[in-house]
Structure 1
Amino acid sequence: MTMNSTPASRASSRISSMNRFLRLGAIVGMLAGCGSVPLPPQPPLDRPAVAAPADTGAANLPADNAPLPPPMLQGRSRWIAVRWSELPGFAEDALHEAWNAWIKSCERPGPTFAALCPEVRRLSIASGEEQRAWMVQRLQPYRVEPLFGPSEGLLTGYYEPVIQASRQPGPGYEIPLYAPPAGIGQRRPWYSRQEIDTLPAARSALRGREIAYVADPLDALMLQIQGSGRLRIVERDGSQRVVRLAYAATNDQPYRSVGGWLLQQGAVRDASWPGIKAWVAQNPQRLNELMWSNPRTVFFREEAMSELDAAFGPRGAQGVALTPGRSIAVDKDSIPYGTPVWLASSGPLLKLQRLVLAQDTGSAINGAVRADYFAGWGPEAGELAGRLKQPLRLWVLWPR
């Protein structure tokens, strides 16, 4: 689900609207004490982190001077206990934004965090200062390091595409999106992308499995790479509605990056998604060659979307809806699902120092210090996700 911005000037122009959403988030947190209530729709977070306006939270933190626990091994990572003062920006983050994602994780918590969920829900109406103090008392930060190699990792981004589609094929809508064919998912490779496009047997197996049709094969490919998306779909009776396509299965072929293929060909220097689209616009005769370089195809299931569903992203691998700017995909062998994580990354696109929740994974997310940042949905989120590629540091926040 990974593809690697909008300029800072575009980001800063939306900060005033974001403050309005931050105030709404506090109301949502209050309601969440009685059950999980989705956030109002939020714009994609292609901006620097915005701190809570009047809450530094640093002055009244409990003392953090107890003996540090020993290092822990977790899959392919080593966790080194540290003081809270090591976490950059800990006193400035707008924690109530992350608290809504944490409440989502509490819908399906793992055994380690289940006991904390009643307290997390009660604290949804607390101040940032109170939330920080509770974290210091109840959680121990551990710096995540690989077993071998440098401790600095990689942050990329992903998003939920929004694509115009039609329920039936016709001029401008000729690229099908499929539900899984019969017999898929038995851990053996099915037809490759090229075979699906060219072999009658493959096309026959998919006949009747078409969910919808889109205009651009690159949009279909992007939807498959991201793993889910929203369709503004024209129904057979001419009406329109928005539905979500969620990941259902793959053809169990290996994933190959089309951007990596272009780099190997020496065709581009910019292998971001905007760079890929620009290359295709200049080389339309090589579109199939590009598409077939990635043998993997993803199949979908259709999900209805209410207004409340539309306020969140798709369900991640943890089984809970993703929160823009506060959900990340991780290597589950290094960081368990549902773990609160402190993320720090600085680059030309974003400066991020914030609390996020490990709620998803992806085939390209491998390694101890590796995360994919869920940017939201729509074209601006896609622009950010398509270009985001920055150094990364991570700290897991584990119960004491």
Structure 2
Amino acid sequence: MALPLFLKRTLVGLVAAVLLACATPPSPPADRGALPVGVPPPATPWALPDTVASSPALLRGNSRWQPVAWSELPGFENDALFEAWNAWLKSCERPGPMFAPLCPEVRRLSIGTESEQRQWLLARLQPYRVEPLQGGVEAGLLTAYFEPELQGRRLPGAGFSFPLYRVPTGLKARQPWFSRQEIDTQASAQDALRGREIVYLNDPVQAMVLQIQGSGRIRVTEPDGSVRLVRLAYAGHNGHPYQSVGRWLLDQGELRDASWPGIQAWLLRNPQRVNELLWRNPRVVFFKEEALGDLDAAFGPKGAQGVPLTPGRSIAVDPQSIPYGTPVWLASTGPQIALQRLVLAQDTGSAIRGAVRADYFAGWGDAAGELAGRLKQPLQLWVLWPKAQP
């Protein structure tokens, strides 16, 4: 199983330096990597505190946060924190009230060593184990999502006949519009969408996958033959509820493996039933086109926090349990992947509900899609919350 695509350290350093230069004045050379004023380094950087602070448990929406010792966090000594710091810099573009005061220090430490970053975490933050509100340790659930990377054409032809649309004129929030089946079969629906086509794909199933994921990268062939990379970002939907085609296949007894690879295998065996499958999900997502420069291409689409997602370091959460922008320690082991790492809560989704629930942003391309199509395994979460400052 190939792992998700992660950013190379050289790119991380470049992005951090650009953000740092834009956000704060440069420090004198002697200060490079120094801890912020007032943060004493521990005497032994790798000796994690094994005592629990006197902090009380916190209630947050549908979850309870139980204070724990840093030594409870599995793998904390071994994580490549510089990867997570890149995501944290993004969160600092739109920080919540609890983390905004820390962002100048986060920016400064983007050029620090991992040891200095780790020491700062110990000094500034308190870990809390996330539990369901009713108490007890819940066996949480980790899934993954990704950004599809597809070929498209600006004009239909040569098999590229399945359009992705801009938001149609007259679409009203919370009012059902034409369903997927009606868009495919009714002239009135097609008339309403005429002129709203952005690109055409050559596979209707991939078009629906992109709609389910909410965004995608498209290599678009223009009418003059030139090719450019664009992002299609979520702009709205037709007001119908999302229905899982995998769940439908399970209920029909058609499949025992409802992962996307399993669904694709079923489609190969039943090509005459493609529309039957697609129409089981009446929701259609509409998009807006965004330019994708070199720097933008190093990150994913914007999540619900309003900042670009970082592959392998951004998660979608239930915001009733964990606020956007919160650093989270994630631990999950299963047949697909083993994860013990610092991530940032930067997104949500209609299926992401509950205290110990996360959707892991795997990145883009085939390897990320393979992981996202199969990942479903137990999860533990710890939020890292600012300590009260004297």
Aligned-residue CA RMSD (Å): 2.0
Between the two proteins, what is the percent identity of the paired residues? 65
Q: Does 1:288 align with 2:303?
A: no
- Normalised to the residue count of structure 1, the TM-score between the two structures is 0.88
Question: Which has the larger Rg?
Answer: 2
Q: Which amino acid aligns with 1:119?
A: E
Residue 332 of structure 2 aligns with which residue?
Answer: 345
1:23 shift after superposition: 4.9
Give secondary structure in 1 for the equivalent of 2:265.
Answer: helix
1:11 shift after superposition: 4.9
Q: Does 1:112 align with 2:98?
A: yes
Residue 79 of structure 2 aligns with which residue?
Answer: 93
1:67 shift after superposition: 3.5
Q: Does 1:317 align with 2:297?
A: no
Q: Does 1:133 align with 2:119?
A: yes
Equivalence map 1:1-400=2 (5 Å): 6=1, 10-11=2-3, 21-35=8-22, 59-60=45-46, 63=49, 65=51, 67-148=53-134, 151-400=138-387
1:35 shift after superposition: 3.0
Structure 2 distance, partners of 1:177, 1:204, is 15
Structure 2 distance, partners of 1:93, 1:59, is 14
Structure 2 distance, partners of 1:23, 1:312, is 14
User: Kindly tell me: are residues 361 and 244 of structure 1, through their superposed partners in 2, closer, same or farther at Cα, counting changes over 3 Å?
Assistant: same
Give secondary structure in 2 for the equivalent of 1:343.
Answer: strand
Structure 2 distance, partners of 1:357, 1:59, is 23
Q: Which amino acid aligns with 2:310?
A: T
1:342 shift after superposition: 0.3
Could you list the runs of 5+ residues in structure 1 that have no partner in the other structure? 1-5, 37-56
Structure 1 distance, partners of 2:127, 2:140, is 18
Q: Which amino acid aligns with 2:304?
A: A
1:312 shift after superposition: 0.8
Structure 1 distance, partners of 2:330, 2:16, is 22
Superposed CA offset, 1:72-117 (max 9, x none): 1111111111111111011110101100000000011111111110
Contact 1:68 1:82 in 2 (8 A): no
1:21 shift after superposition: 2.1
Number of equivalent positions: 367
1:22 shift after superposition: 2.9
1:150 shift after superposition: 5.0
Could you list the runs of 5+ residues in structure 2 that have no partner in the other structure? 24-42
- Normalised to the residue count of structure 2, the TM-score between the two structures is 0.90
1:296 shift after superposition: 0.8
Q: Which amino acid aligns with 2:294?
A: E
Structure 1 distance, partners of 2:216, 2:11, is 25
1:205 shift after superposition: 1.1
Which shows bigger deviation, 184-193 or 159-168?
184-193
